[in-house]
A and B are shown apart, each in its own frame.
Chain A
Amino acid sequence: MDSEFNAVAEQLRDWFDSVSRLASENFFNMLPEGPHREAVVLDILRRNARILAEGELDADGKLYSPLCYFLAAACRKLRTSLGVGHWLAAVGNVVRLGEQLARARTESVGLGLEVDSPAAFFKHELDEVINHAALAGGVSYLDKENREIALGLSVNWGMRLLLAYALGCAGSSNDSGRKDLAWIGNLMRSLVTAPIGTP
């Protein structure tokens, strides 16, 4: 089981390296190294944070691109990359939470209570941290160090949201070779045993 999780984490690491490279070559590096480039990174970060904070979960994958660009810009701002360890933790977290919520959903039916999907849970956490750090605009009362920690937390939650969101969106036969949201969903579905709620 561990080797399956590791294999998925490695594929996600390689996939996100491609996303980061695309974002760097086509957006971040449009301007010379220095404050102008940093300003572009910050603009892309804030624009996509705003789209995510205002956006609703759907089954069509409309949040996929903003989420990817948000993660790429946040990592660029933090000057870090996402390694296998990051993805392994995120995959484990999403699978475990999915199983917990599936059990809770079975029990809650008898009580007439609604239980959020994993994607809704992680979206809520991401929205909170975006709001706390004023990533989508407005002002924050956090000091600079804690705004950076908030940015790290936003990547943490954003990765989990991406994986849970992919699980809740429509799958595909994936014979096109595209590594998109449906591909991530298929990767994740190979690890889950319990049905995951839709977004």
Chain B
Amino acid sequence: MTENLAEHRQLERRLWMTRWMHEGQESAEEDAILDELEAVWWKLSDDERSILNEEGPRCWPTDPSLLPPELNGTPYSHGPAQWSYEGFRSASQAILAAGAT
């Protein structure tokens, strides 16, 4: 997959998530992603555009006839990652003390 197509796929996923979070309603975030998608579209080759055109949109979470985007082909992190506890600055902070708010 070329870098431009990978970027397009990532923007599709981001668009799906944004539309899903807003129940399919328009939002400012959606407009920004659509602008980015349009910019990337013009960098794609004819073959890549044909692939996307044939496939149809995957970004409409509220349309029951369309499937959500696939996670295959997502950009990977630099290494394996886990869901981890966040917000603790030290081990001692993880121990709740009496009077903690």
Q: Give the B-binding residues of A (Cβ under 8 A).
A: 31-32, 34-36, 38-39, 42, 45-46, 78, 80, 83-86, 88-90, 92-93, 96, 129, 132-135, 138-150, 152-153, 156
Pair B83/A78 contact, Cβ less than 8 Å: no
Tell which of B20-28, B30-38, B45-53 binds the partner.
Answer: B20-28
What is the bound-complex CA distance between A46 and B4, given in angstroms? 34
Evaluate contact between A150 and B71: CB separation under 8 angstroms: yes
CB distance from B69 to the nearest CB of A (A): 8
Q: Which of A45, A89, A147, A149 contacts B81 (CB 8 A)?
A: A147
Which residues of B64-84 have CB atoms within 8 Å of chain A's CB atoms?
Answer: 64-65, 68-69, 71, 74-77, 79-83
How many A-B contacts if CB must be within 8 Å? 102
CB atoms of A86 and B23 under 8 A apart: yes
Given contacts A86-B23, A141-B77, contact A146 B87 (CB under 8 A): no
By the criterion CB–CB under 8 Å, are A139 and B86 in contact? no
Cα distance A83–B21 in the bound complex, in angstroms: 10
Check B24–A35 contact: CB distance below 8 A: no
**Shortest CB–CB separation between residue A97 and chain B, in angstroms?**
8
Q: How many whole Å from A6's CB to the nearest CB in chain B?
A: 13
- A42–B71 touching, CB < 8 Å: no
Which A residues are in CB contact (< 8 Å) with B5? none
Task: Please indicate the chain B residues that have their CB under 8 angstroms from the CB of A133 in the complex.
Answer: 71
Instruction: Give B64 Cβ to nearest chain A Cβ, in Å.
Output: 4
Nearest B residue to A91, CB-CB: B64
Residues of B within 8 A of A139 (CB): 80-82
Closest beta carbon of chain A to B1's beta carbon, Å: 15
Residue of B nearest to A148 (CB): B17
Check: B42 CB closer than 8 A to any chain A CB.
Answer: no
A142/B82 in contact, CB under 8 A: no
Q: Given the known inter-chain contacts A83-B23, A89-B64, please indicate yes or no for A142 contacting B83, CB distance below 8 A.
A: no
Interface residues on B, range: 35 or more
When distances are taken between beta carbons in the complex, the residues of chain B under 8 Å from A150 are 71
In contact, B20 and A152 (Cβ under 8 angstroms): yes
B74 touches A143 (CB 8 A): yes
Alpha-carbon distance between A145 and B85 when the two chains are bound, in angstroms: 16
Across the interface, do B87 and A153 meet the contact criterion of CB distance under 8 Å? Answer: no
B100 at the A/B interface (Cβ < 8 Å)? yes
Q: Which residue of B lies closest to A45 (CB)?
A: B83
Closest chain A residue to B76, Cβ basis? A141
Q: Do A140 and B62 touch (CB < 8 A)?
A: no
Cα distance A84–B24 in the bound complex, in angstroms: 11
- C-alpha gap A143/B78 in the complex (Å): 8
Partner of B68, one of A92, A146, A147, A156: A156
Q: Judge whether B14 and A149 touch: CB under 8 Å.
A: yes
- A80's partner among B21, B25, B65, B74 (CB-CB below 8 A) is B21
The chain B residue with its CB closest to the CB of A87 is B23
